[in-house]
């Protein structure tokens, strides 16, 4: 039985997290898939306990899924249309899995609580994908990274939430210098550029990009990185603010 402990939480208010990671020159989003029949993907989300702030709730949800405590987090928008509810998703779930099967996992009171209209606060997070060990929750069949250009169809308006998060990320990339949160402790300039290119969805001139980033004076240059490739070894950099 999946417990929501409804009474401990603020009703009709949820949090949805778009967790961005970067690997293989692709921007990725973490998405759990539910155990039920029917290919239900979603965003990692949850509810706000009465005794925690909304930021704390978002951090708790992120830590539950990724195991990481200090995560870069940004609240980017609230989704509050009148038709935002789990109801149609739930109908389809029941249709495909049978009333009895669903009843095994949720009691009636919780079902009533969770199928109401929900206002959802959208957060996006930037993580070093190498540090994340995706954690399956009770109702998860899998928790995987998906290319943002190739996301599975998600329940409710979660695909739109991802799209809105990406727009917000694009706007903040230069202004808040947050790209480095997607990288490990040390990285090469080429890796930074790849993030900029894939987030902004356009190619950048290498020489100009290098100059621009170095002129920010936020990076510390370390020793060179031996790659074993037939070219000059690139420097490693570290965020030094």
Note the helical H segments in 53-205: 54-66, 87-97, 99-105, 108-114, 158-176, 189-200
Q: At what angle do helices 189-200 and 206-215 cross, to 10 degrees?
A: 110
Give me the least distance between CB of 201 and DNA, in Å please: 14
Does 235 bind DNA (CB under 7 A)? Our answer is yes
Nearer to DNA, 119 or 233 (CB): 233
Token pair of 220, please? 């510390």
Distance CA 17, CA 59 (A): 10
Give the binding-site size for DNA (rule: CB under 7 A): 22
Give me the least distance between CB of 6 and its own copies, in Å please: 12
Out of its own copies, DNA, none, which partner does residue 202 contact, by CB within 5 to 8 A per kind? none
- Contacting residue, 23, 171, 190, 201, with DNA by CB under 7 A: 190
Main-chain phi, psi angles of 105, to 5 degrees: -95, -25
Of residues 82-141, which lie at the interface with DNA (CB under 7 A)? none
Q: Which residues bind its own copies (CB under 8 A)?
A: 10-13, 48, 50-56, 75, 77-78, 80-82, 117, 119, 121
């Amino acid at each position: 039985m999946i417990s929501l402990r409804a009474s401990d939480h603020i009703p009709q208010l949820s949090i949805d997290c778009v967790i961005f990671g970067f690997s293989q020159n692709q921007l990725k989003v973490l998405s759990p898939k539910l155990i039920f029949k029917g290919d239900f993907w979603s965003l990692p989300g949850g509810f706000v306990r009465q005794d925690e702030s909304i930021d704390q709730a978002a951090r708790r949800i992120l830590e539950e899924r990724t195991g990481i405590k200090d995560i870069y987090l940004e609240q980017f928008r609230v989704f509050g249309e009148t038709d935002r509810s789990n109801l149609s998703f739930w109908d389809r779930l029941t249709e495909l899995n049978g009333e009895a099967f669903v009843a095994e996992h949720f009691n009636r009171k919780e079902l009533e609580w969770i199928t109401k209209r929900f206002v959802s606060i959208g957060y996006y997070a930037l993580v070093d994908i190498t540090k994340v060990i995706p954690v399956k929750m009770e109702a998860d069949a899998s928790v995987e990274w998906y290319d943002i250009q190739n996301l599975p169809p998600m329940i409710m308006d979660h695909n739109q939430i991802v799209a809105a998060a990406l727009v917000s990320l694009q706007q903040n990339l230069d202004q808040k210098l947050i790209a480095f949160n997607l990288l490990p402790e040390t990285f090469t300039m080429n890796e930074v550029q790849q993030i900029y290119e894939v987030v902004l969805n356009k190619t950048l001139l290498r020489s100009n990009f290098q100059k621009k980033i170095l002129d920010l004076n936020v990076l510390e240059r370390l020793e060179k990185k031996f790659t074993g490739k037939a070219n000059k070894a690139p420097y490693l950099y570290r965020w030094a603010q």
